Structure 1
Amino acid sequence: MARTHEFTFSGNPDVDFEIRATIGQAFSGAADIGEVLAAVQGVGDKDHEGWFRAWLGLGDRIAAQGEKSASSGHSVSAASAFLRAASYYATALNAAAALPSDDELLPTFRTHRAAWDRWVDLVDLDIERIEIPYQDTSMPGYLFRAPRAAAASRPLLVVANGSDGALTSLWSSAVHGALRRGYDALVFDGPGQQSMLFERGVPFRPDWEAVLTPVLDFVLERPGVDADRVAVYGISQAGYWVPRALAFEHRFAAAIVDPGVVDVSTSWTDHLPSNMKKLLSQGDDEKFDRDMAMGAKFSHELAYTWQFRARPYGTTGYAETMRAVLQYTVEKVAGQITTPLLITDPEHEQFWRGQSERLAALTPGVSTLVRFTEEEGADFHVQPLARALTEQRMFDWLDERLDR
């Protein structure tokens, strides 16, 4: 019997993972597997333009279905279509980020967010658009209130995004499950993420306590929130953001990271040849930049991947970017975490292998490590084809931590 790591939708690992991540959202209604597989069929493994157009076209087609249903008064069908369209536009946005030109980035992001907002307005849920005060600006987000929640105060889950995810992925990874279990939920764009990056030009920052503390302050001022039962969930690179913040912000009742990330930079440095690592350690930035530029000139894949991953850091040169990324580590501060912490640990983790175990070792008094396996169909980064199982395990743990 073929194992999940042996079966692929594409010979390109990045393309394969995008397909897995998108169809994994079918569990929460944010994708329909057949229409996804039909749309990407025949797109070449290295056809970046074709990959982008396939997802953009699928989003356009499903959004048009949503408009037709809405104009005929079929709000349930319309909401379903716009949620799926938003998901497909989000995948198109990731594809656009790897194109040679940035011309498609902002229009695609705005198309994605417009579809998401159409869903927000049509779906039978209590959702409030919010602006969270942050330094001299604000962070946009959405506050979801649990359906049929009669209690005067309710638990709330803050959902933190990774490096490039869209709001539709947060719906699927945590908000959908939270609402079904009587939690309110809050999602937002932090520095370097989505609207903060594409529309406001605000890059990543390593000290995420400066981000999550204002979010928590905002949450605690909202009516109906049980201040003793506010938890936080972080997916993908938020497996770093959340532990970093928890080392300094101790008011969260519990936290989940999916997976754990101790050192963000290893997903970059593990792919560098030893001579390039030596140049970095010696501080020879000029030669490092020269050699990287030469490599990108002869490898479109390298150029596109670098462009996609470096953009949120707000840096310019290759060495400057690497030195920025090297700051994203919790190795020295993880011991300060006092919040109960659930850490997912998927088999065949392809970006931060072994780091969930490392984070658990650094936080032995507060952490619980939960493994996900190939045999369960739950391997690979953030268990893309096992979100129902992930939801079950993390919310069962969270219910118990919050004595629900």
Structure 2
Amino acid sequence: MFEYFGDNYTWNMAVNLALGMGAEIGEIDDASGPVKEASRRGDPRAAEILFAAWTGLADRVKALAQQDLQHDRAYSAGRKFKRAAIYYVQAERMQAPRFPGRDAAFRDTLECFRRYVELTGQPVEWVDVPYQGTTLPALYVPARETPPGGAPCMVHFDGLDVTKEILYLMGIGDALRERGVSVLLVDNPGVGEALRLQGLTNFPEAEVPASACVDYLETRDDVDASRIGIMALSLGGYHAPRAAAFEPRLRCCVAWGANYDWGATQRYRHQSQDPRLPVPHYWEHAMWVFGQTSVEGLLATADRMTLEGVLDRIRCPILVTHGENDRQIKLAQAERLVAECINSPKAELFVHTLRDGGAEHCSVDNLALGVDTIADWIDATMRELKQRPQG
């Protein structure tokens, strides 16, 4: 993994993710001098320093986009709005939940992402999935061609700290679209707009929001309702298999990074004070995501998030991808997850090695490899499902 911030794993993850989304390393480097110094000296205000540096960078790039618009350079403006969105969202997700300025940075992210989509003609439709008297915000990316009867579609949930906009900019929507598969990128409860703007918090029964997404997709004429699958990354490595185990309408499943026993992982983190965390202020963030007011309450909820005794219910194809050098979740969790899918007609584990790349958590060190591996498997699996109808 590119270790721009030395031994600061959490910040290095943010840089790698930003680059995988389309950031420019020169822009990051120009803005991050004070941030690197704060990281080296262990400044307790380091995350806030990063916020000031990266939102300042986003402001500058957005101003350049607005200059382009004044000169009728719409496409160039759109590309800059994209990078501004990346810097805003990375600065925002690295802060404590009640940090001043976080709400504004998130709204700037949404605004810049929308301008990027509109000005560059991205194939994105904003949709609201009906869900328990409210909605789940989502982005629908259609397959390039819609055959008679509709195209297959993947429901894509987030992880603990990413958003549907991050997922789109990671390239998974385009990768599936080009292979003839649509995708619904969803801010499920506990992430993105669902958490920040609607107050929806996460919980173990992932089949509940997943079923709502299937209900919605079944209303669309451009979706083949017999070929709807689910995928998710990081914490979603629990959510996607859990949903597939309890929602039989899901015809395939991808865990982009395994998460067999999230409770055990959290108890280890709490006891060991392991610094290899996805975001700073980790325990505050996780409590916010799950609507808990204490670490004890969070851990009690986390203990319910295990796939033990569940995976024999999965009767659809499932792929688990995992990094050989994943420093957050051990490879053994991925191996156990696949081994216990005893009733799946095709349960496969793909390990990204240090030699080939993509070996870190969710392949953040080489997102292109991770995306292609998953998209190719989904493409092949959806073709197989077409030849082998349900029932």
Q: In the alignment, which residue of structure 1 is the partner of 2:196?
A: 198
Distance in 2 (CA, whole Å) between partners of 1:156 and 1:377 is: 28
Q: In the alignment, which residue of structure 2 is the partner of 1:315?
A: 292
TM-score, normalised by the number of residues in structure 1: 0.85
Aligned 8 A contact 2:139 2:185 in 1: yes
Among 294, 302, 307, which residue is 1:330 paired with?
Answer: 307
The amino acid that maps onto 2:12 is: D
Q: In the alignment, which residue of structure 1 is the partner of 2:32?
A: 40
Task: Report deviation, 1:173.
Answer: 4.8
The amino acid that maps onto 1:350 is: R
Distance in 2 (CA, whole Å) between partners of 1:38 and 1:341 is: 43
Among 225, 231, 234, which residue is 2:232 paired with?
Answer: 234
Q: Does 1:401 align with 2:381?
A: yes
Q: 1:127 to 1:24 in 2, by over 3 A?
A: closer
The amino acid that maps onto 1:352 is: I
Distance in 1 (CA, whole Å) between partners of 2:87 and 2:268 is: 30
SS at match of 2:136: strand
Distance in 1 (CA, whole Å) between partners of 2:171 and 2:343 is: 26
Aligned 8 A contact 1:247 1:336 in 2: yes
The amino acid that maps onto 2:114 is: D
Distance in 2 (CA, whole Å) between partners of 1:187 and 1:303 is: 25
Distance in 1 (CA, whole Å) between partners of 2:174 and 2:52 is: 29
Root-mean-square deviation (Å): 2.2
Aligned 8 A contact 2:124 2:139 in 1: yes
Q: In the alignment, which residue of structure 2 is the partner of 1:279?
A: none
Q: Does 1:70 align with 2:66?
A: no
Task: Report deviation, 1:365.
Answer: 4.4
SS at match of 1:403: helix
The amino acid that maps onto 1:344 is: T
Q: 1:309 to 1:40 in 2, by over 3 A?
A: farther
Q: In the alignment, which residue of structure 1 is the partner of 2:387?
A: none
Q: How does 1:247-266 map to 2 (within 5 A)?
A: 247-266=245-264
Q: 1:150 to 1:364 in 2, by over 3 A?
A: closer
SS at match of 2:12: helix
Distance in 1 (CA, whole Å) between partners of 2:162 and 2:280 is: 21
The amino acid that maps onto 1:139 is: L
Q: How does 1:24-103 map to 2 (within 5 A)?
A: 24-26=20-22, 31-43=23-35, 44-45=38-39, 46=42, 47-97=46-96, 101-103=98-100
The amino acid that maps onto 1:380 is: E
Deviations 1:153-199 (A, max 9, x none): 22222211111102332111521211222322211211111112111
Distance in 1 (CA, whole Å) between partners of 2:255 and 2:311 is: 13
Distance in 2 (CA, whole Å) between partners of 1:117 and 1:303 is: 27
Q: 1:208 to 1:18 in 2, by over 3 A?
A: same
The 4+ residue runs of structure 1 with deviation greater than 6 A are none
Deviations 1:122-172 (A, max 9, x none): 23133222111101111111212234x253322222211111102332111
Task: Report deviation, 1:222.
Answer: 0.7
Aligned 8 A contact 2:286 2:298 in 1: no
Unaligned stretches of 5+ residues in structure 2: 274-278, 385-391
Q: In the alignment, which residue of structure 2 is the partner of 1:189?
A: 187
The amino acid that maps onto 1:19 is: V
Q: In the alignment, which residue of structure 2 is the partner of 1:128?
A: 125
Q: In the alignment, which residue of structure 2 is the partner of 1:340?
A: 317
SS at match of 1:247: helix
Among 355, 360, 376, which residue is 2:338 paired with?
Answer: 360
Deviations 1:248-302 (A, max 9, x none): 112222221111111112332112338xxxxxxxxxxxxxxxxx9xxxxxxxxx9
Q: 1:303 to 1:54 in 2, by over 3 A?
A: closer
Aligned 8 A contact 1:23 1:385 in 2: no
Distance in 2 (CA, whole Å) between partners of 1:97 and 1:177 is: 33
Unaligned stretches of 5+ residues in structure 1: 275-291, 293-301
Aligned 8 A contact 1:23 1:32 in 2: yes
Q: In the alignment, which residue of structure 1 is the partner of 2:244?
A: 246
Of 319-328 and 235-244, more deviation after overlay is shown by 319-328
Q: How does 1:166-185 map to 2 (within 5 A)?
A: 166-171=163-168, 172-185=170-183
Q: 1:124 to 1:360 in 2, by over 3 A?
A: same
SS at match of 2:201: coil
Distance in 2 (CA, whole Å) between partners of 1:307 and 1:12 is: 19
TM-score, normalised by the number of residues in structure 2: 0.88
Among 152, 157, 175, which residue is 2:154 paired with?
Answer: 157
SS at match of 2:124: strand
Deviations 1:348-395 (A, max 9, x none): 212221211121111144310001011122211011121221122212
Deviations 1:8-60 (A, max 9, x none): 5332111111111211223xxxx223222332234121422211112211221
Aligned 8 A contact 2:96 2:280 in 1: no
Of 150-159 and 45-54, more deviation after overlay is shown by 150-159
Aligned 8 A contact 1:66 1:78 in 2: yes
The amino acid that maps onto 1:117 is: R
SS at match of 1:151: coil
The amino acid that maps onto 1:239 is: G
Aligned 8 A contact 1:83 1:168 in 2: no
Percent identity, aligned pairs only? 27
Q: How does 1:373-388 map to 2 (within 5 A)?
A: 373-388=353-368
The amino acid that maps onto 1:144 is: V
Q: In the alignment, which residue of structure 2 is the partner of 1:208?
A: 206
SS at match of 1:377: coil
Q: Does 1:22 align with 2:21?
A: no
The amino acid that maps onto 1:329 is: T
Aligned 8 A contact 2:323 2:363 in 1: yes
Among 365, 370, 376, which residue is 2:350 paired with?
Answer: 370
Q: In the alignment, which residue of structure 1 is the partner of 2:372?
A: 392
Aligned 8 A contact 1:264 1:352 in 2: no
